Structure 1
Amino acid sequence: MTDCRFSTATPDASLVNAWHLQRLNMDTVWPMATGKGIKVAVIDTGINTVGSPYLSDTITGDDGATRRRITAVDLMDGPRPDDNDGMLECDHGTLVTSLLAAGRQRDGSPWSNRTNFAGIAPDVEVIAYRTLTVVADGEEQREGDPLSATIEAVRLATAEGVDIINLSQTVVEDPALKEYEAAIADAIEQGIVVVAAAGNAGAVRDRAYPAAFPGVISVGSSTQGDAGAQSSALVGNNVTIGAPGENVVGLRSSQAIDAAAVSNQAFELKGTGTSFATPIVSGVVALLLEYERRHGVDLSPAEVKERLVATADPPGHQVPDLRLGAGIVNPLRALLNLKRDPQVEPTEVASPPATVAPAPTPTEQALPVAALAIGVGSVIVVLLGVVAAIAIPAARRSSAS
């Protein structure tokens, strides 16, 4: 079982900052947690880590042995198509995994001086299961692949004892749905947090699974203007929470070379869909689990879901929102358990259709980077700035570049 075959995507001449990192105040959150010690299963189209310093780093276990931080397990015996309606075969899974887990340099700075991009949980450990070959029109909708492979991956991940399962895929009808639900239920019963895409408009017109299964955190997508993205499906009150999922920056499959190099890395600059909002939430969950365990607390899946909902940034109208649920995930509030204004109470009224925000503005300027020191001093600095960071989300203060 090996990594998905590499694509021929070429490095980008110009890059942009990852606006979602600024929106979520990740530079303030990373001194508190980076996902270290948390294991996530990403069940998708597979992943290519060849030639990518973001995905090729290693970790040292308690026994002193060194292993890859991100590994691949291929559960598909079928052909590997060269192109899936515009998305090369590994790109979907690679982009999803990168948004969750792309690493940084040892001093905490980004690998490239042309973009601030990194995963939400840059030190998390990932097992990437390949269970899909087709991604239709960039949507999550599973098409033509047997659901049995995804069910097997859920079972394997549960046996592996992962902490989180990320499912950036949907299915509406399938004879194996009951078996799928049972596998998800078993994972949650074992204490595994399951995070799934709510689905995209045009692909999902009804309840989408596994997002609609009991206990699952269902993720919608938001724009740079903090609205529910129009690409996010209207699936009623099924959505638990929203996260940036329009024009997000992430990684594509890089060309195969002998050694990982930033100059070889290919990027996706306009990733759009609930597929890509989902790993952002999974990353926040990884940070939350690490932070709480370091303080002697082991949260259950239900407690994690409750924490995310209670600490979310509510939409600029009534909640729950059809596309954003309780609102947009707030990592800093989630870690510190700072609940939203109690005056903002859920109602049955949904927001009007979202407006589409412009794409990020390219920049060629090198980013100033300061090394992050995790410790008491860092947490104190974080706490001093927490009121401003929480009260005024980044996207509402200024437009990210």
Structure 2
Amino acid sequence: MPFQKYGARRRSLSALATVGAGLMAVGGIAPAAAAQDISSQQWYLQDMQADDMWKVSKGKGVTVAVIDTGVKASLPELRGQVLPGTDASKSPTDVHNDEDGHGTNMAALIAGTGSGGGIQGLAPESKILPIKAIVDGKTDAADPLLARAIKYAVDHGARVLNISLGTGGTSSMYFTKAKAAVKYAINKGALIFAATGNSGDKDNFPEYPSSLSGVVGVGAITRDGKTAKFSTSGDQVGLVAIGDEIPTHCGNKVCSSRGTSQATAITSASAALIWSKHPKWTNNQVLRVMMQTAAKPKTGDVPSSYLGYGSVRPRKVLLDGEGDPGPANTNPLLAREGATKPKPSESASKAAGNASQPPASDEQAAKKPVAEAKAKDDGGNTTLWVALGAGVVVVAGAAVAFTVVRRRGGTMARP
């Protein structure tokens, strides 16, 4: 079973390469931008009010495992941000050697410092635990490799697991070891965010591990707040985040990328910000306030097939003091919580009180183009974007052809 990376650059199908059985990622990248200063192009940070959130939390004390293609720790914005990590395969290579670049970009979106004109991460004081998980088709299959990666992550201090990888055209019956590893991680107090995939406008078939019970599947919305047409929909969608027009490294250039990979990284970083501010909260409590404070679909049922419980808004917790952490040992995702508007909790209200500036009112916040809060479900699905080797390609379809499933959804309410 090959993995798919959900982040890529726009190339022709003829550029497709294969890594053994194939490890693909979720996302896409457009032509190179003129400016090389990536951080200056990260428009979504302003929309998410990152500068104000960073006065409250920058993710310090939280380790985020990036289970991906490796992480290039020597990148200027990642120097000092990356822990030793490991290659979870049976034929390991240097985890800090990322020939593909996908894992490096995901790590930078989470914890990059912006140094050297590089990527500014949303949680710049969090640490990255890199775990390489490339399926070679000979010594490793997706299920045991993923299981080893997940167990390594939690056993080495990761509280948040970012998996911008997945595989489609298969069944959960092939992921028995991964299921056990997910349960192990959750019981150890970790949160797992996994990209739902980019095959929404093609086969739109469930992806794994995002479809595994307990994993928070993350879909993507566009800059104008609409459900990204490439974002795979279905029951696996727990939350969504901006996943379009995200500047990333593209070799020696800067590219505009898209994908549920990027949306997952932003969601993982959001969790790190909240957890850093509330270190005594359990994984269930952090997830609960994320679900509660997410911008809800305006129409249709919640959770929505396209938007899940809504678009992540960590500022609502950190700046506005919203969200009730609730019971420590009840998993809100499995209990299908988060569909109602939260009431300010005493602990969350203290977070707002500690901010150097007063929290913005809903009326004030609505005046800003908050991308993560205005998503609209336009009935889009997902194209599978694949990043392999030095280049990245767009792939029409997954490992197996399936009938396209399209569902109607709703629009996201503004804050």
- Residues 277 and 268 of structure 1, relative CA distance in 2, 3 Å threshold: farther
Q: Which residue of 1 aligns with 2:47?
A: 23
Residues in 2 aligned to 1:93 and 1:396: alpha-carbon distance in whole angstroms? 24
Residues in 2 aligned to 1:376 and 1:146: alpha-carbon distance in whole angstroms? 43
Output aligned runs, 1:167-246, within 5 Å.
Answer: 167-172=163-168, 173=170, 176-201=174-199, 205-235=204-234, 237-246=235-244
Q: Which of 76, 79, 88 is the equivalent residue of 1:53?
A: 76
Report whether the alignment pairs 1:44 with 2:84.
no
Deviation at 1:196, TM superposition (A): 0.9
- Residues 128 and 388 of structure 1, relative CA distance in 2, 3 Å threshold: farther
Please state whether the residue corresponding to 2:167 is helix, strand or coil.
Answer: coil
Q: Which residue of 2 aligns with 1:306?
A: 288
Residues in 1 aligned to 2:58 and 2:360: alpha-carbon distance in whole angstroms? 19
Report whether the alignment pairs 1:379 with 2:340.
no
Q: Which residue of 1 aligns with 2:332?
A: none
Partners of 2:242 and 2:266 within 8 A in 1: yes
Partners of 1:252 and 1:267 within 8 A in 2: yes
| Residue segments in structure 1 that go unaligned for 5+ positions in a row | 1-10, 59-67, 81-87, 106-110, 135-143, 254-265, 348-374
Q: Which residue of 2 aligns with 1:119?
A: 121
For residues 7-26 of structure 1, what are the alpha-carbon distances to aligned partners after superposition, in whole Å with 9 as ceiling and x for unaligned? xxxx9642461122122111
Residues in 2 aligned to 1:73 and 1:389: alpha-carbon distance in whole angstroms? 45
Q: Which residue of 1 aligns with 2:35?
A: 14
- Residues 43 and 268 of structure 1, relative CA distance in 2, 3 Å threshold: farther
Output aligned runs, 1:2-401, within 5 Å.
Answer: 13-15=34-36, 17-50=41-74, 52-56=75-79, 58=80, 69-76=82-89, 89-104=99-114, 111-112=116-117, 117-132=119-134, 146-172=142-168, 173=170, 176-201=174-199, 205-235=204-234, 237-252=235-250, 266=252, 268-293=254-279, 298-318=280-300, 319-335=302-318, 336-339=320-323, 346=339, 379-381=355-357, 383-385=358-360, 387-388=362-363, 390-395=365-370
Please state whether the residue corresponding to 1:37 is helix, strand or coil.
Answer: coil
Amino acid at match of 1:129: I
- Residues 252 and 127 of structure 1, relative CA distance in 2, 3 Å threshold: farther
Deviation at 1:284, TM superposition (A): 0.4
Identity %: 26
| Number of residue-to-residue matches in the alignment | 305
For residues 122-179 of structure 1, what are the alpha-carbon distances to aligned partners after superposition, in whole Å with 9 as ceiling and x for unaligned? 1111111111268xxxxxxxxx954322211111112112111111111243664011
C-alpha RMSD over aligned residues: 3.3
Please state whether the residue corresponding to 2:41 is helix, strand or coil.
Answer: coil
Residues in 1 aligned to 2:352 and 2:34: alpha-carbon distance in whole angstroms? 40
Deviation at 1:213, TM superposition (A): 2.0
- Residues 292 and 145 of structure 1, relative CA distance in 2, 3 Å threshold: same
Please state whether the residue corresponding to 1:165 is helix, strand or coil.
Answer: strand
Partners of 2:219 and 2:233 within 8 A in 1: no
Please state whether the residue corresponding to 2:108 is helix, strand or coil.
Answer: helix
Larger proportion of strand? 2
Deviation at 1:53, TM superposition (A): 1.4
Partners of 1:48 and 1:90 within 8 A in 2: no
Please state whether the residue corresponding to 1:380 is helix, strand or coil.
Answer: coil
| Residue segments in structure 2 that go unaligned for 5+ positions in a row | 1-31, 325-337, 341-350, 375-415
- Residues 226 and 12 of structure 1, relative CA distance in 2, 3 Å threshold: closer
Partners of 2:135 and 2:145 within 8 A in 1: no
TM-score between the two structures when normalised by the length of structure 1: 0.67
Partners of 1:307 and 1:337 within 8 A in 2: no
Residues in 2 aligned to 1:317 and 1:376: alpha-carbon distance in whole angstroms? 30
